[in-house]
Each structure stands twice: as structure tokens, then as C-alpha cells.
Structure 1
């Protein structure tokens, strides 16, 4: 008799985790869960996060019973009574819950949070970014509810109402375990409050305070920042827009304070005035930086960044957007120092051509994502009129962002499959001199592409895509000439499509949309804003055709009956 051996659950869990790449929302999990009771049990243990939509609320009891290992709740997509929802969630046993995200809401649900906090006392991460209105009471409430918080994100509130020293000091004092805090957009922060925060939170490792508006606090100075970070030498990540009143260089006091941060791995100076002296000082101190963001910075030159990178050769994330002084030769020279580089942003560096891209993929063996938007990629170089002739294959590159490169042509794009065989994301939006012939060639040969952005590519319609692209999940064709025939082709070729963006596609009608809804069985989101030929009142029927839909952005003028609104409650829609 042959002995039958059954693999234990932990072995199957390892196999499934490997196959799905550790993605707890991977579409394969649904199929695996119906194979057997054993697989159902295993897959129930894998999801660690749950996003709650309006239509999710009636099913929460079943979901919480099924997924017992949840550690994170995302309520950013819920548009109802948030206080009530938090009270309902508090009735369930979620023993592993440590993270809550309440971003993009009109206000902080203080009543619900107080009930929630009595049940989940060990919450250590709270995200409340992009809140419409934030006030003093919100800070006091959060501080009182979750004394064990280690991560707090209150970034970019749309309106700040009467926040005083009381709220910030209460937060600083009541959250002694805080390790990461994001106060971007909090323009009222002054030297005193920043010092109090750094002094009170002895475990603080990451501080973010970025702001792109004109509301930067006039009471926050270079010397104030210097004094604050000097009392917190444990900082490992600092993201802050340096105040540059009077356009003076960063003070020596601030540079000396930065030199005290011996464990610093991330510096984000975006939109700040910096200097070559600052960069060279950091380099000479041998600070173990892995991430440097100088996006839209000014006041420094090639000499400063070259000195820095020659000494700090373990950088993994480098953002030099709008470093207009960079040339192809500069990038070639710098690439020799970037053996560990995984991400680079050289967008708006207007002197760079194919040669810079070629230098990066040739010399940076770990590079997985490149952003070179608004450059001169595609322009023939004087040094080498055929710069891609002897290309180097870059199997590790997964994401390539080349938006707004007006010089790029089909000849360059057709080289991508040979250069980047494992490409998963390709952004060619606003590249208006490319044709569908080159795009179809890329899709046919790069079989791993999941995300394709062709928005504002005026002459592209993908009508010639008469082959299967099973892994393509997100397609942006906004403001192109696609029509119903194109959508029929897409619906037949892209069986795994999850998101389709068709904003301002004036040739599309409900007939073409129907093709997509009928054939793309996994579709979760469709954007039809300003698609004037789509019957706006046919939106409700879309959910009948495709039950997987979770978000519909409808053409303007949507007029739903009461019955249709009730039906659409299980999905999100926007006019």
C-alpha cells in the first residue's frame, strides 16, 4: 500500500507566499481558496490588511471571522459615518491589529476613535493625511487615545483651525514612544515647538515636514532646526524643506548639527536652497546615507553632488529632479559611483539624452526604477548617433517613466524589450511622436508589463493589439483617440485588466465600455470622466455587467434615481 503524505500547512503557506510574491491581495488567492478546505484555511491566514469600502460594511462580521490575522485597517475609501464604523469595528476581536489609516476624510472622527481606542489599546501606527479640517482637539484626542503610538502621519491637512502650542506639546508629551512623525503642511510649527517635539520623543527616528505651498512658517529658522535635531542624534531619516529667508546659504550651525546624526540613512531636502558645502560636509563625515532627495533644490552644482556621491557610494535612492546643470557626461561619471542604486529620478534635466539612460543601465546593476521625464530622450546625440546600438541588457529594471519626452520616437521604444526584458511599468504619457506600432511591439515582447500609461499620446489607439497581454492590469488611455473598436480589442487581449482610465476619450460610447465590462472579468475601476458619448445614466447597469467593479468615475451630468443610488452603494461612483 502506497503511503500518502500531506504537506503541512506551513509548507503550503510558504509555497503560496512565494507564488503570490507575498501580496495578500493577489488575485490568485481567490482561486486557491476554492481548491480545498485546507487551502481555504491557509489563504484566510495570509491577508494582513483590509480596505473597507461603503459596500464592505454589511460583510464586516464575516470578514473579521474569516481573516483572523489582520494587522491593518484602511478606511480611506469609506464615505459614510466614520464614527459609527469605528464603533462597529470595536465590537470585534482583532487581536493583531496595530495599524489604522483614516486619510482623505473630512475630519478626524474623535468620538469613534475614543470607543475604538478602548478596545484596541496597542495600536502603534495611525495615518490621518489629507484631512479636510484639523484642529487642536484632534491632536489632543489622538494623544489621549493612543499613548503607545510609534508612527503618526498628520500630513497635508487642507485646513488648520486654531491649532496652538497646547495641541503639539500634548502630542509630544503623551506619545513618548513615537518613532516616526509626518507633519508636512503644518505651517504653524515654530522653532520652540520643533525643539519640544525632538526633546520629548526620545525614540524619534524619522521626522518629515515638507511643504510646497507659500505658507511655510516664518517662525521656523535654520538655527531652530539645527537646535532641534542636535538634541535627537538618534534620527535616521530627516525630510524637511529648509527655510531660506533672504536666499542665504544654510548656516554652519545647521551643517554641524547634521554631522551629529551618525546613523542617518535618509535625507530629503526637496524644494530647498542647499549648497555644495553642505553636500561635501556630509560626504566627508561618512554618514551612511541610502536615500538622498534633492528634487527641485537650488544653490548646489555638479561639484557638490559629485563630491557627495564619490564618498557615499551605497546610495540606493537618488532624486536629482530639475538638476538642470547635469549633462550626459556628468551622468556617465556619476553612474560609476552608483553600484547599489535601485531608484533614480532625473526628470526635468533638460540636457540628458539616450546616452544618459544608456550609462545608467550599463553601470548600475541594481537599478530597478528610472524616472527621466521632460528630458531629451530620443534626440540623436552628437557623440554617438546610434547610442543604443551596443546596449546592455538590464533584467532588473522593472519601472521606466519617460513622460513628456517630445523627442522620443518609435526606434528608441522598440529597443526597450531587448534592453528591459522584465519591464512591468512603462509610462509614455504626453509622448506625442510615438505610434501604436511601437507600443504593440513592446507589449508583445515584454510579457511581464502590468502598468501602461499612454495618456495624452494623441495618435495612439492600440487597435492593432491582436494578441494576448494576460498580465496587463492598469491601462491609462486618457485623452487619446481610442474608440469602441479599440476597447473591443483591449477587452479580448487583456483578460486580467483591473483598472482602465479613459478620461476625455471623446470617441468612446457605452457600446465599447460594454465590451470591456463583459470580457474583463476582474475589472475594479473605470474612469469615464468627460466621455461625452457615453450615456451617463447607463452607469448603474455597469455594475450588473461587472460585479467586480469597485469604482466608477462617470461622465459629468450623472442623474441617478433613488433605486440606482441604492444599488450603487455597493460600489463607489463619482460624477
Structure 2
């Protein structure tokens, strides 16, 4: 019996009983875990829909899949009760967004037996919900990760509350608060956090978090297990002496992220350099918008720090010699980011690629001296490379022979947005060279038109395709099945009913579709997508179409109309 890949298998009730009775629940659970295994690609990954289909087979399968949902995001505080009764094994809860009464919601959630909950996200709230968090912490004592970024008003007293309520925290994110008092007002709160959170391993105090030398010293000195610190754009009260002193207090640090500071020459001083290279366990170094020197890069190379991730984003003051010296000595690097390195040319990429045998991902976006030849150099010399970002690079014309480059099946993700030189001929060539692409981002590549259909034909594993702002793109030639496509962004391009019909017919596994500011979209085309793409979870940019359609109930059943209203974002 043949089954369509665009729809789940259907069973009679007798077949369901027969199938599910053969194996114990533990075996089915193992099978389901294998089906929804994460492929570690955030841009493509969305496994909850597999659980939805499995749960429809039988009540027994529903019970098993309920136990396999570990992460939950709430959008509406009025519909949560039945969810917490169903999903008792939750370990992650996301309450990002606006709620009428978050304090009361947290109190109610604490009444459910969420004995495995370890992560809570409260991003974007007006204030820290102190009453709710206190009640929550008294009932749910397993929390190890708390994220409260983008809090509009973060008070010094909030730090004392967190220290009191969640002593088991290993990860804390208080980044990008919007309105804070002076740094001195928070010193005691940071000290309380550093003394109470003895297990803290990761902390993010980026943005305008009010931190100074004294607070930083408390953090590094008292948190003995601290491994990862992020301080993007929050260091305006930290001096070279304060930073160097703090680093010496935590020699076991594994990940350090800094961005632009008032003391622009801080990262070129011998005092800072000596402190940095004393971090013998450092595997991740992220430097953003800083004036650094070749001497810093030479020093890291001489010490042979075990870096696996190295980022120089918008940094100045150094040269290619410094980068080459570092990469030649630190050859464990798997993730490299050199965005906005203006002096970087193709021959430099050829030189550095010989040291990157373990490279998995690289970002060379906005390196305007590079050409597409750099891309071929990388895939030829880096056998483990699966992800390349080369957005907004140089537009010099370089003629290459397709036969010259061969096939590179290891590449899975390719970001080439904002490259006006990218033509149908070139992307068709890329499709032949990189047949296993799963993610392709061509945002704002306005020279592409019908060639994208040939890409979809050749790269049958594509799951995520971004064509936003590609004004000349035409999909009328897509008269073939695209079996694995899950995320499609067509914002700001000319999409008509015929295009949406082809998408609905040939991309039945679609989960997310973005049609923002696609003026040609009509209700008839939207109907095709909603009717035929049974797995669709979100559709953006059609709200105005739906609201302006007076004939809506005549062209769609009540069931599909209800579904459409749920999908619209």
C-alpha cells in the first residue's frame, strides 16, 4: 500500500488497537523519540508537529506523546490549565509576551506538579513579577535557568528576590533592561546574587545592565563555578584595571563575550592581554566593536588557548597577520566569525582555510573585498564545514567553471542574502555543487528570478527557504513536489493566486509561510494553502486579506476558517 508523504497514515480503529498492543509504552516512547530527534538546526527545527500527528493514532499514543513534550510556550493565559494537566514532564516554560496578570498566572502554574521544570523565560515583561515568582519558587524548587531579558523596569530589589528564590540557578539572563538606575544602586544586589547562586555557570548582563568594577569583581570572585559571561554593550563603567582584576579571579572561565567600551584601547594593553591569556580553559572568545591589536592575537596564539569558537565582529586595529597567526596555533576552531573585516580578500581566505580542518560554521558577511571564490575555497579545504554565511560581500565578477569545483555534500546551510550579483545561473550552479542544502537564505538578492525553481528541483532536502525582498522571483515553474520544505519566506515579492496554488499543491509539509506585504495575495490563494498544507502552523501577512474578504464564509468551511484564524500572525 502506497502512502502520500503529504499526509499522515490513517488507521481503522481495529488496526490502531492491533498496532499499539504489540509493544509496551517504553518501546513506543523510544520510537517516538527517534522520530522527533533534534538535528540541532534552530532555523529548521520544529518537531512538535510530529507529536501532533502521532497523538491522533490512539488514546494510548496520545498519552505517550504527552510525556514527550518538554518545552511549552504560552501565548494566552486563559487557556493554560488543560496544558499543564496533559504535559507533566515539562522542563522548559516560556512566558514571553504581554499578560494581564503575570503574578497570578505564575501562582496558578505553581499549583501543578511540574516536578521536572528547570527553565523559565519571562522575556519582555514591564517589571519582574515579584509576587508570582515568590509563590512559584516555593512550589517549584527545581529551576536552574531563569531568563529575564528586556525587562522595562529592573529594580535593585529584583536582584535580591532572585537570589532568595532560586538558589539552584546555573544560568541567569538579565540582559538589555530598558530603564535602570545608576550602577552604584545595583552593587549590593549583584553581590547578593554572587553569594547566593553558588552553582551559577552562565550569566548574561548585556545591554545597559548597570555593572561597574566592583560588581564585576563580586561576580567573578564569588561564583566559583562561573564558565560563561556575556557583557555586550554594558561595560561603560568598567575600566582596564577592573576588568583585568576580575579576569584573574576566575581562571577557569570557558566563554567570554565583550563589546565596545569607553576605554577603547583597553584591549591593547599588556595588563588586559596578560589577564586574558591566563584563561587556560577558554574555548569561546567573542569580541565586538573593539579596537584590538595584533599583539593580542599573537599572545593568544603563543599561549595556544583551546578556542573552538572565535568571533571578531566589527573590530579594528588588527591585521590579517594577527588572524593568521592565531588560527595557525589554535587549530581546534569549529566556529569562526570575521564579519566586517574590511581587509579580508580571497587570498587571505585561502591562507587561513588551511588551518581550519575542524571548521563547522563560518560567517564572512560584510567582508566587501571577498568574492564567491572564497566560498569555493572554504568548502574545498574544510571537509567538516556545514554552514556558511557570506551576506553582502563584494560584487566583483569572477568566472568559475562548474566542473572545476566538484560536489560538496557536507554543506547544509548557506546564507547569501543582500548579494545583488547573485544570478539564476550562479544559484543553479550552487544547487549542483551543494545537493544536500537544508537551509538557503537569499534575502534581498534581486537578480534572481526563475532559477530558484531549478534550485528546489535539485536540492530536494531543503527545509528552510528565505526569498524575502527578491523582487524578481517567479515560482510558476514549480510544477514538482518539494517534499521537505517546512519554512518559506516570500515577503515583499510578487505572489499571486497561481503561485499559492503551486505551493499548496507541491509543498504539503509546509509549517510556516510568510507573505508580508505581498500585494498580489488574494483570499482564493490563501484558501488553497490552508486547505492543502495540513501541517501548517503559522502564516504571516494575510490578516488584511482575511479582514477585507466579505465572501469568506462562502469560500471556506467553518472548520478551515477557524483554523485560518489560529494560523494568522
Query: TM (normalized to structure 1)?
Result: 0.88
Deviation at 1:544, TM superposition (A): 4.9
- Give the corresponding residue for 1:348: 366
8 Å contact kept, 1:205–1:234? yes
- Give the corresponding residue for 2:274: 256
- Give the corresponding residue for 1:204: 226
2:429, 2:193 → 1: CA distance? 54
Give the length in aligned residue pairs: 538
1:53, 1:539 → 2: CA distance? 30
- Give the corresponding residue for 2:512: 499
2:316, 2:213 → 1: CA distance? 24
1:515, 1:79 → 2: CA distance? 34
- In structure 2, relative to structure 1, the CA distance for the partners of 1:286 and 1:540 (3 Å cut) is farther
Deviation at 1:149, TM superposition (A): 0.8
Q: Does 1:406 align with 2:420?
A: yes
| SS of match in other structure, 2:362 | strand
Instruction: Give 5+ residue unaligned stretches, structure 1.
Output: 554-575
- Give the corresponding residue for 1:359: 377
| SS of match in other structure, 1:318 | strand
- In structure 2, relative to structure 1, the CA distance for the partners of 1:552 and 1:78 (3 Å cut) is farther
Q: 5 Å matches for 1:255-274? A: 255-274=273-292
1:233, 1:118 → 2: CA distance? 35
Return the match for 2:178 from 138, 158, 167: 158
Deviation at 1:16, TM superposition (A): 2.6
- In structure 2, relative to structure 1, the CA distance for the partners of 1:539 and 1:71 (3 Å cut) is farther
Q: Does 1:87 align with 2:107?
A: yes
8 Å contact kept, 1:510–1:535? no
8 Å contact kept, 2:174–2:209? no
Return the match for 2:69 from 22, 47, 56: 47
Q: Does 1:148 align with 2:168?
A: yes
Q: Does 1:116 align with 2:152?
A: no
1:235, 1:93 → 2: CA distance? 36
RMSD: 2.5
- Give the corresponding residue for 1:564: none
| SS of match in other structure, 2:528 | helix
- In structure 2, relative to structure 1, the CA distance for the partners of 1:38 and 1:517 (3 Å cut) is closer
1:306, 1:481 → 2: CA distance? 45
Q: Does 1:133 align with 2:153?
A: yes
- In structure 2, relative to structure 1, the CA distance for the partners of 1:429 and 1:539 (3 Å cut) is farther
Q: Does 1:458 align with 2:471?
A: yes
Deviation at 1:537, TM superposition (A): 7.4
1:15, 1:292 → 2: CA distance? 38
- Give the corresponding residue for 2:189: 167
Q: Does 1:371 align with 2:389?
A: yes
- In structure 2, relative to structure 1, the CA distance for the partners of 1:77 and 1:520 (3 Å cut) is farther
8 Å contact kept, 1:236–1:264? yes
Deviation at 1:425, TM superposition (A): 0.9
8 Å contact kept, 2:236–2:262? no
8 Å contact kept, 2:465–2:489? yes
| SS of match in other structure, 1:489 | helix
- In structure 2, relative to structure 1, the CA distance for the partners of 1:319 and 1:387 (3 Å cut) is farther
- Give the corresponding residue for 1:514: 527
8 Å contact kept, 1:506–1:532? no
Deviation at 1:13, TM superposition (A): 3.0
Deviation at 1:267, TM superposition (A): 0.4
8 Å contact kept, 2:523–2:549? no
Q: Does 1:489 align with 2:502?
A: yes
Deviation at 1:549, TM superposition (A): 6.0
Return the match for 2:117 from 97, 100, 104: 97
**What does the per-residue CA deviation read over 1:17-74, in whole Å, with 9 as the maximum and x for residues that have no partner?**
222224783422222223345533432322211111217x4353x3333323211111
- In structure 2, relative to structure 1, the CA distance for the partners of 1:549 and 1:171 (3 Å cut) is farther
2:389, 2:50 → 1: CA distance? 30
Deviation at 1:509, TM superposition (A): 2.7
Return the match for 1:282 from 283, 296, 300: 300
Deviation at 1:535, TM superposition (A): 4.0
1:229, 1:454 → 2: CA distance? 44
1:230, 1:493 → 2: CA distance? 59
1:302, 1:40 → 2: CA distance? 57
**What does the per-residue CA deviation read over 1:381-424, in whole Å, with 9 as the maximum and x for residues that have no partner?**
2xxx2254322322222111000111111111002222222211
- Give the corresponding residue for 1:559: none
Deviation at 1:506, TM superposition (A): 1.9
| SS of match in other structure, 2:313 | coil
